[in-house]
């Protein structure tokens, strides 16, 4: 099963579609979670997911706002989508009946 | 900030080409400060190094070859140097045949042990080679600082280093030997270990120094069997 960060990364990459690459995925994760996402965590997780067959990556075009450097493009594979859906369903099943789900969140 | 930029560029050189391109581009795009960029690259390098150590091979290279081999190989380097001083018969001032044979035998054995150790280290621990190198050099520095033998220079301790370094270089390029070459090297090294005269006695420790040579035989055999199965 995927880990939490792996799930976040696959979800961000899937949402970005053909625009998925390192900086965009990182920004998406930071916006959704409200936490800083380190480059080290991002790229080592991308490698791990790629070796599991959940992502496909390739070097894209260079742009001037990147100082003429290429992007590492990321695309989620059908296996990756399946793994993310399994994770989501597991979390939903595990959360059924939990107090914060049944009564709503209050501090 | 020029120093910070130089530090960032130097650290980024330790990343693979495509990754360096992607990471530096991402940080330029998001407008990160040089300090943050250095921190991020350090974090990535650290994670990459730690990930390498999840595998058994860097452990074998560092703690199965580099560190434990450096002590006996230094000892054998000194033994070779002492033999070179004794090949001249003090009575006749002539080079003796037995002395030359002994010297050649020891030289071949030292070269075999060092080269195969270096080859295996280079081939199985590319990304962690610096750790293996450090672990091999620390004992050398320690022994060099305490070396006191009449008529011998301290560098006679380090005779094993040139073949070991050559082995590492070839290991980085080739990964494995052909089966026939590997069997030849392993058999020669093991035979020289048990030949009377070259070693005072063929102890288990001396035989253990031949394990990288036999590892090369096993690796070449597995590769050959894999290729054979593919053809079948």
> Under an 8 A CB cutoff, do A66 and B29 touch?
yes
In this structure, are B107 and B185 located in the same domain?
Answer: yes
Assess A58–B contact: CB distance below 8 Å, yes or no. Answer: no
Mean pLDDT computed over A93-99: 90
Query: How large is the ipTM?
Result: 0.87
Please name the residue of chain B whose CA is at the shortest distance from the CA of residue A61. Answer: B22
CB B23 within 8 A of CB B38: no
Interface of B with A in 43-72 (CB under 8 A): 43-48, 51
In this structure, are B15 and B86 located in the same domain?
Answer: no
In this structure, are B107 and B11 located in the same domain?
Answer: no
In this structure, are B91 and B47 located in the same domain?
Answer: no
> Under an 8 A CB cutoff, do A38 and B43 touch?
yes
Q: What is the pLDDT along chain B (232 residues), one digit of tens a residue?
A: 678 889 998 999 999 999 999 999 999 999 999 999 999 999 999 999 998 999 999 999 999 999 999 999 999 999 999 888 888 777 777 777 778 888 899 999 999 999 999 999 999 988 899 999 999 999 999 998 888 887 888 889 999 999 999 999 999 998 788 899 999 999 999 988 887 766 666 677 888 899 999 999 999 988 777 776 666 5
Assess A64–B contact: CB distance below 8 Å, yes or no. Answer: no
The CATH number given to A4-87 is: 1.10.10.10
Tell me the pLDDT tens digit for each residue of A48-66. Answer: 999 999 999 999 988 888 8
End-to-end CA distance of chain B: 61
Looking at residue B202, its pLDDT comes to: 62
In this structure, are B119 and B201 located in the same domain?
Answer: yes
Looking at residue B230, its pLDDT comes to: 62
In this structure, are B71 and B117 located in the same domain?
Answer: yes
Which residues in chain A have their CB less than 8 angstroms from residue B41's CB? 39
Assess B127–A contact: CB distance below 8 Å, yes or no. Answer: no
DSSP string for residues in chain B: -HHHHHHHHHHHTTS-HHHHHHHHHHHHHTT--HHHHHHHHHHHHHHHHHHHTTSSHHHIIIIIIIHHHHHHHHHHHHHHHHHHHHSB-TTT--B-HHHHHHHHHHHHHHHHHHHHHHHHHHHH-STTHHHHHHHHHHHHHHHHHT---TT--GGGGGTTHHHHHHHHHHHHHHSS--HHHHHHHHHHHHHHHHSBTTBSS--HHHHHTTHHHHHHHHHHHHHHHHHHHHH-
B22 lies in which domain range?
2-52
- For the four alpha carbons of B101, B105, B106 and B108, in that order, the dihedral sign comes to positive
- Nearest beta carbon to residue B18 from set A41, A63, A72: A72
In this structure, are B92 and B174 located in the same domain?
Answer: yes
In this structure, are B63 and B149 located in the same domain?
Answer: yes
For residue B171 the two structure tokens come to 């290991």
Assess A31–B contact: CB distance below 8 Å, yes or no. Answer: no
Alpha carbon of A41 to those of A29, A46, B13: distances in Å? Answer: 12, 8, 19
Looking at residue B159, its pLDDT comes to: 94
In this structure, are B159 and B185 located in the same domain?
Answer: yes
Report the domain count for chain B: 2
A90 Cα to chain B: minimum distance (Å): 28
- Hey, where are the domains in chain A? 4-87
In this structure, are B21 and B73 located in the same domain?
Answer: no
- pTM of the full structure: 0.77
């Amino acid at each position: 099963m995927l880990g939490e960060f792996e799930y976040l990364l696959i979800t961000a990459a899937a949402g970005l579609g053909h625009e998925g690459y390192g900086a965009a995925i990182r920004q998406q994760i930071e916006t959704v979670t409200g936490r800083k996402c380190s480059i080290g965590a991002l790229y080592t997780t991308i490698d791990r997911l790629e070796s599991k067959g959940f992502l496909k990556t390739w070097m894209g075009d260079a742009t001037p706002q990147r100082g003429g450097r290429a992007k590492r493009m990321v695309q989620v594979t059908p296996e990756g989508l399946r793994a993310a859906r399994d994770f989501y369903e597991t979390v939903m099943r595990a959360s059924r009946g939990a107090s914060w789900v049944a009564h709503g969140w209050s501090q | 900030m020029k120093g910070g930029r130089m530090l960032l560029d130097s650290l980024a050189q330790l990343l693979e080409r495509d990754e360096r391109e992607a990471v530096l581009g991402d940080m330029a795009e998001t407008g990160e400060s040089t300090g943050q960029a250095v921190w991020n690259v350090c974090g990535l390098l650290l994670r990459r190094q730690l990930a390498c150590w999840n595998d058994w091979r860097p452990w074998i290279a560092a703690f199965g070859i580099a560190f434990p081999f450096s002590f006996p190989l230094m000892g054998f380097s000194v033994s070779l140097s002492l033999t070179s001083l004794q090949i001249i018969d003090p009575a006749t001032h002539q080079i003796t045949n037995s002395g030359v044979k002994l010297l050649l035998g020891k030289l071949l054995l030292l070269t075999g042990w060092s080269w195969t150790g270096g080859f295996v280290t280079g081939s199985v621990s590319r990304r962690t080679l610096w750790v293996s190198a450090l672990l091999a050099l620390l004992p050398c520095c320690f022994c060099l600082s305490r070396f006191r033998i009449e008529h011998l220079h301290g560098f006679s301790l380090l005779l094993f280093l040139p073949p070991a370094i050559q082995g590492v270089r070839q290991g980085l390029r080739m990964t494995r030997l052909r089966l026939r070459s590997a069997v030849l090297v392993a058999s020669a090294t093991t035979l020289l270990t048990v030949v009377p005269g070259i070693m005072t006695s063929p102890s288990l420790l001396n035989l253990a120094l031949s394990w990288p040579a036999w590892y090369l035989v096993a690796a070449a055999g597995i590769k050959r069997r894999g290729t054979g199965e593919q053809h079948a």
